[in-house]
Amino acid sequence: MMEERERNPEHWYRYLDNDRYINAAAKVAEFIGCCKENLVLVENTTSGINAVVKSMSWNKGDGILCTDHTYESMSNLVQYVAKENEDIEVIRMDIPMPIQDEDEVVQAYAKVIEKSPQIKLAIIDHITSVSAMILPVHRLVDLCHKNGILALIDGAHCPGQLHLDLEKLRADYYVGNLHKWVFCPRGCALLWIHPNHHNTTHPIITSAKIFHANLQHRYSYQGTRDSIPYLTATKAIEFYQSLGGMDAIVEHNSKLKDWASSMLSEAWNSTCLPIPNSMRAPFMILVGLPDTKTTREYEIKTKGHYSDELMKEIYDKHRVCTVICHVMGKLWCRMSVNVYNCQEDYYKLRDAILSILKDEA
């Protein structure tokens, strides 16, 4: 595609790019189960959520609800919007940990909403990034709507990992990456917008088609932006389906995840994050790190959701990429599985962690 574009960029941008974008968006809509008229493609979940939040009109006393598991970029976004609109309040609720069942999550949301009638928008994770938990978004969307709150779902990790039916979910907005689990190149994500909000949700970039009557046209043309990642979504979905589709991929990845998490927790003398199995993501899980002096030193130094210092050390010394998360006052390895992984990858992860976090003699 890049060669085709560069041979004749004039023809590409004037006559090909827009139609191919709309065709790719239609393929994504079919893949996740939604009306194509409600879906646009954006660079990533962060840009999609920015488009939603920065398009909204805010009044004095309005509130935005997020949680202690909200992705840090989204937390920064709501803090930025609140700073630009001084009369907005950010309500940050804690998700109770450990969790026995999803009722506890719904009840926690209900209590905060009851105490904070000023909430206008709730940003709700479908799968939390820091803890790899599936939240009960259907129940939370219903709860929000019963209380006059708009529901924006951060589904960054969900396309390709969970079955989605966005028309049935009926959130106000849903955003999810296609370059995480659907094999698209970076960056490619979907933004689903309820028809009630088509005319009030605008692209981050104001470009030539900003006033177009059609939602997809407003998002498709961003000047000479590189739209190739969006256009490859069609082939990425075909590849995904060629592997057997979601049911086969989930079965394969879940089995490897269960084996690897059991092996790692035994080797590290630890446990997995204490949440119900029904709330565990199919391809991701948190395994506790070994309880050593070195681990505790890293825990003390970790201020946000992730231990960037430890992650970098693991990569620099062992060329292993993993995510080290800070949850419940402890450090956990957020282990991920995809079809290209094998058992040897997790033995290497096991040994890298043991090498770095061992207690000195």
Q: What angle do CA 11, 14, 19 make, to 5 degrees?
A: 105
Find residue 176's DSSP bridge partners.
Answer: 190
Task: Mark 49-75 as b/e (b = at least 16 C-beta within 10 Å).
Answer: bbbbbeebebeeebbbbbbebbbebbb
The two structure tokens encoding residue 22: 């709309």
Q: Are strands 119-125 and 63-67 parallel, antiparallel or unpaired?
A: parallel
Q: Counting Cβ atoms within 10 Å, is residue 270 exposed (0-12), middle (13-18) or buried (19+)? A: middle
pLDDT for res 303: 87
The two structure tokens encoding residue 152: 């924006």
pLDDT for res 193: 97
- For residues 50 and 76, give the distance between their C-alpha atoms in angstroms, rounded to a whole number: 11
The two structure tokens encoding residue 189: 């994500």
Mean pLDDT, consecutive 10-residue stretches, the chain (361 aa), reads 83 82 94 94 96 93 95 93 89 94 96 96 97 97 97 97 93 97 94 96 89 89 87 96 96 97 97 96 97 91 92 96 95 97 97 86 39
Q: What is the sign, positive or negative, of the torsion defined by CA atoms of 298, 304, 308, 311?
A: positive
pLDDT for res 7: 86
- For residues 331 and 137, give the distance between their C-alpha atoms in angstroms, rounded to a whole number: 26
pLDDT for res 359: 64
* Cα separation values, 9 from 186, 230, 232, 276, Å: 21, 17, 18, 52
- For residues 20 and 125, give the distance between their C-alpha atoms in angstroms, rounded to a whole number: 30
pLDDT for res 360: 55
Rg (CA), the chain: 21
- For residues 340 and 223, give the distance between their C-alpha atoms in angstroms, rounded to a whole number: 36
pLDDT for res 124: 97
Residue 168 half-sphere exposure toward CB, CA atoms < 13 A: 7
* Cα separation values, 361 from 54, 292, 350, Å: 54, 12, 20
pLDDT for res 361: 39
Write the pLDDT tens digit of every residue in 190-217. 999 999 999 999 999 888 888 888 898 8
